[in-house]
Amino acid sequence: MTGKPRIGFVGVGHMGHGMASNILRGGYDLMIRGNRNRAPIDSLTGMGAHEADSLAEMAVACDIIFLCLSNSPQVEAVIRGAEGLMANGRPGLIVVDTTTANPVSTEALAAELEASGMHMVDAPLGRTPKEAEAGTLDAMVGAAPDIFSKVRPVIECWAGSVTHLGPVGAGHKMKLVMNFLGTGYAALYAEAFTMGARVGLAPQLIREVIGGSRMGCGFFDTYTQWVCDRNRDAHVFSLDNAAKDIGYVCLMAQAAGMANPMSASIRNAFASAVAQGKGADYMPMLADHVASLNGVDLGEEVKRGRG
């Protein structure tokens, strides 16, 4: 490993475990910092990773540190905290944030790190934990060209597709555009299946017609594996996370000074489900929430359609 940078990784959950394990397979010395769940930490240390006792220890020891967290406040705490990366990192430290985050926060953190002689990269992710384990995620990267050249070999350990979109913040902006479309599909599908049920069309009939048409896609396929087959794990992304993401989309639109009627409506659809205690449910389960508002049980509609 001579000549290779030492890598840190904060947040080794559903996505982070696969990413970190592929960094290890790439031959990098890896230091990790997890949360209460010991299973992924024990798994990675068993592969040769070192567990940091604190963020400060990691900041001192590492050259590049990846973050894979839930939201911007968590990222801000890791970077700005008294025991965090900015207070303890060496000049030249590169922080790569793979969280789906608020670009306004990202750009502010990048400026603060730069003033301290450090650098920030945003590299949010496309695809799922399955691709994280396989090392075939999509990476959308915002970084200065010279910094991108330093982090790209490490990102390529866990990404099958790496796109440099521009300066810091560009990656998070692109991810929000992507998640705007994803949450939009989810909200449209939820209403479409409810509408179909109310007019006498079983969910599986809608899947058969739409799935084989120009409007079919991978998202529709995994979505309908829940609606029609009740496969809970077909699309593992919580309504809490989706609501957070579409909220960031609306904040980005507001910062850009644009009218955003569609994203505002989508945000309300997810906020309604979360407000009624459905936040831990997965994205396709929004369909059940919308159906229930209209007196429809989609599971029963599927059974009825089989009869």
Are 163 and 187 within one domain? Answer: no
pLDDT, average across residues 6-28:
97
For residue 87, what pLDDT is reported? 97
Over residues 71-94, the mean pLDDT reads 97
Q: 165 by DSSP, 3-state: which?
A: strand
117 in any annotated domain: yes
Confidence of residue 34 (pLDDT cuts 50, 70, 90): confident
Residue 286 lies in a domain: yes
Residue 1 lies in a domain: no
One domain, residues 116 and 74 = yes
Question: Which H or E run contains 125?
Answer: strand 125-126
Q: Are residues 51 and 152 in the same domain?
A: yes
Q: Rounded distance, CA 23 to CA 20, Å?
A: 5
Answer with the one of 132, 167, 202 that is the final residue of a domain. 167
Instruction: State how far the Cα of 267 lies from the Cα of 250, in Å rounded to an integer.
Output: 8
Give 156-167 pLDDT, tens digit per residue.
999 999 999 999
Do 200 and 145 fall into the same domain? no
pLDDT digit string (tens) for 281-292?
A: 999 999 999 999
CATH number at residue 69: 3.40.50.720
Residue 36 has pLDDT above 80, yes or no: no
What's the mean pLDDT in 10-39?
94
* Amino acid residing at 200: G
Q: Report d(CA 89, CA 131) in Å as an integer.
A: 31
Q: Check pLDDT > 60 for residue 95.
A: yes
Does residue 250 lie within any of the structural domains?
Answer: yes
- 40 and 163 within one domain: yes
Stated pTM of the model? 0.93
Q: Which of 122, 147, 167 is the last residue of a domain?
A: 167
For the stretch 123-148, pLDDT in tens is 999 998 899 999 999 999 999 999 99
Looking at the structure, do residues 134 and 57 belong to the same domain, yes or no? yes
> Are both 209 and 290 inside the same structural domain?
yes
* Of 270, 110, 73, 117, residue with least CA distance to 187: 270
Dump pLDDT digits (tens) for 214-248.
999 999 999 999 999 999 999 989 999 999 999 99
CATH for 302: 1.10.1040.10
What total number of domains does the chain contain? 2
Judge if 14 and 130 occupy the same domain. yes
Q: Indicate the residue among 107, 134, 167 that finishes a domain.
A: 167
User: What's 283's DSSP letter?
Assistant: G
d(CA 100, CA 251): 13
Identify whether 2 is part of a domain.
Answer: no
pLDDT exceeding 90 applies to what percent of the chain?
95
Q: Return the pLDDT at 1.
A: 38
| Mean pLDDT calculated for residue range 65-87 | 97
Candidates 56, 104, 48, 49; CA nearest to 79 is 56
Average pLDDT over all residues of the chain: 96
Q: What is the pLDDT of residue 73?
A: 97
Position 123 scores a pLDDT of 98
Pair 49, 137 in one domain: yes
14 or 274, which is more confident:
274
Same domain, 71 and 180: no
Neighbours of 5 (CB within 10 A): 17
Residues 179 and 81 in one domain: no
pLDDT of the residue at 307: 76
84 band by pLDDT with thresholds 50, 70 and 90: very high
The pLDDT of residue 74 is 97
- DSSP bridge partners of 7: 30, 64
**Owning domain of residue 290:** 173-306
- Are residues 61 and 148 located together in one domain of the fold? yes
When pLDDT is cut at 50, 70 and 90, the band that residue 35 belongs to is confident
Active site residues: 175
